[in-house]
């Protein structure tokens, strides 16, 4: 195989994304302008879509399939408070063994469907001492740890039909959308749950060590998780506006004498408790 062929096979081509998009558009009358990626246990939002059409990931040409418990693995088209939406119920993670390009593949498809705004949600560990379990953090910026190690979904040949070779990331998270989310929270009397901070992505699947948590705190990260950043990079590359929300499901451990241990069950329990608030917030946000 030539070097050029090896390079081009890293990620799916524009034509492949187009084929997936066309397949979906052929099977739904919805023309989504908003895409929502639901994090661990937050997939309930997809059930709120009206006039919906649901596709299992395994049935969609070229789509990866999900393997994590709590991730349903469906793409739902429908209307949410009057907006045509597409909702990912279950996302893809690096730790499942997907390439970072596959993790973010759906976002390129969304852009070809006509989506203009991406709402990404995740479950994250709180690094900032002032955060409580159950808070919702509006992501104002991110730290792309896998990127430091050469893992970016934008690596490989650049197709200008998607976006620029060197896209700007200083404006990755849209200020107007974050303002709208906050307004929605205020209108719902939920402003006290809202924080705004920096999300740091690690590849996982192990939770962070104490030394790693301390390091991330000194770097200015407020929450840590194992997703979102690849999707946001691709979304910004193809010109989508992004709103990112982290549900703080646990506080990270930074004390060597602590008897507590990070666990996935705790994450799912908090998620269940706050999932309705997060859903209402996203609906409120779409109404503003
Ligand atoms: C979508 O529908 C058109 C018109 O029927 C057809 O030509 C095209 O092959 C379909 N594309 C896919 C990917 O299903
Ligand atoms: C924690 O969050 C608060 C409130 O959002 C913020 O003012 C503060 O700078 C953050 N602390 C650290 C150490 O980043």
Does the annotation flag 91 for ligand binding?
yes
| 244 pLDDT above the threshold of 60 | yes
Which atom of ligand 1 lies at the shortest distance from residue 19's CA? 13
Q: What is the DSSP code string of 230-287?
A: HHHHHHHHTT-EEEEEEEEEEEPP--TT------HHHHHHHHHHHHHHHHHHHHHHHH
Instruction: Give catalytic status of residue 264 as yes or no.
Output: yes
Closest CA relative to residue 114, chosen from 84, 74, 81: 84
H-run or E-run covering 112: helix 105-113
Closest CA to 107 of 94, 120, 126: 120
Domain residue ranges in the chain: 3-287
β-pair partners for 201: 144, 225
pLDDT digits (tens, 9 = 90+) for 42-65: 788 888 999 999 999 989 999 887
For residue 257, what pLDDT band results from cuts at 50, 70 and 90? confident
Is residue 173 part of the annotated active site? The answer reads: no
Q: What b/e sequence results for 186-216 when a residue is b if at least 16 CB atoms lie within 10 Å of its CB, and e otherwise?
A: eeeebeebbbebbbbbbeeeebbeeebbeeb
If pLDDT is split at 50, 70 and 90, which confidence band does 264 have? confident
- Is 124 one of the annotated active-site residues of the chain? no
pLDDT at 7: 44
| Ligand number with the minimum distance to the CA of 129 | 2
* Cβ proximity of 172 and 141 under 8 Å: yes
12 or 174: which leads in pLDDT:
174
Which residues, at least 6 apart from 106, have a Cβ–Cβ distance to it below 8 Å?
37, 63, 75, 88, 91, 92, 231
How far is residue 99 CA from its own chain's centroid?
A: 16
Q: In angstroms, rounded to a whole number, what is the distance separating the alpha carbons of residues 38 and 45?
A: 8
The rounded mean pLDDT for the chain is: 89
Tokens (6 digits) for 190: 């939920």
What's the pLDDT at 71?
Answer: 54
The whole-angstrom separation of Cα 65 and Cα 271 is 22
- Ligand 1 atom closest to the Cα of residue 22 is 13
- CATH dotted code for 3-287: 3.40.50.1580
pLDDT given at position 3? 42
- Asked if residue 265 has pLDDT above 80, the reply is no
Ligand 2 midpoint to CA 59 (Å):
44
In contact, 109 and 21? CB cutoff 8 Å? yes
Answer whether residue 135 shows pLDDT above 90.
yes
Q: What is the pLDDT of residue 2?
A: 42
Find, among 137, 139, 177, 174, the residue nearest to 286 by Cα: 177
Instruction: Between 282 and 41, name the one with better pLDDT.
Output: 282
Is the predicted pLDDT of residue 1 greater than 50, yes or no?
A: no
């Amino acid at each position: 195989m030539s070097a050029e062929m090896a390079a081009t096979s890293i990620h799916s081509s524009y034509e492949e994304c187009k084929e997936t998009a066309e397949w979906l558009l052929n099977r739904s009358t919805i023309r989504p302008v908003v895409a929502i990626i639901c994090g661990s246990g937050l997939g309930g939002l997809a059930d709120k879509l009206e006039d919906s059409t649901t596709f299992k990931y395994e049935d969609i040409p070229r789509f990866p399939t999900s393997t994590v418990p709590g991730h349903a693995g469906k793409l739902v088209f429908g209307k949410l408070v009057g907006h045509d939406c597409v909702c990912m119920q279950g996302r893809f993670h690096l730790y499942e063994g997907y390439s970072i390009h596959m993790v973010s593949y759906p976002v390129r498809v969304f852009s070809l469907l006509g989506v203009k705004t991406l709402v990404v949600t995740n479950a994250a560990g709180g690094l900032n001492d002032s955060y409580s379990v159950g808070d919702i953090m509006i992501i104002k910026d991110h730290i792309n740890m896998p990127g430091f190690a050469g893992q970016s979904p934008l690596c490989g040949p650049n197709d200008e039909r998607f976006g620029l070779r060197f896209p700007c990331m200083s404006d990755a998270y849209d200020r107007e959308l974050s303002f709208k989310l906050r307004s929605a929270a205020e209108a719902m009397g939920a402003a006290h749950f809202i924080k705004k901070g920096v999300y740091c992505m690690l590849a996982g699947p192990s939770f962070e060590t104490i030394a790693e948590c301390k390091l991330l705190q000194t770097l200015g990260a407020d929450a840590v998780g194992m997703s979102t950043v690849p999707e946001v990079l691709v979304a910004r590359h193809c010109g989508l506006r992004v709103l990112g929300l982290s549900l703080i499901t646990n506080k990270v451990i930074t004390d060597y004498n602590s008897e507590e241990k990070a666990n996935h069950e705790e994450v799912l329990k908090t998620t269940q408790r706050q999932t309705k608030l997060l859903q209402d917030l996203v609906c409120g946000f779409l109404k503003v």
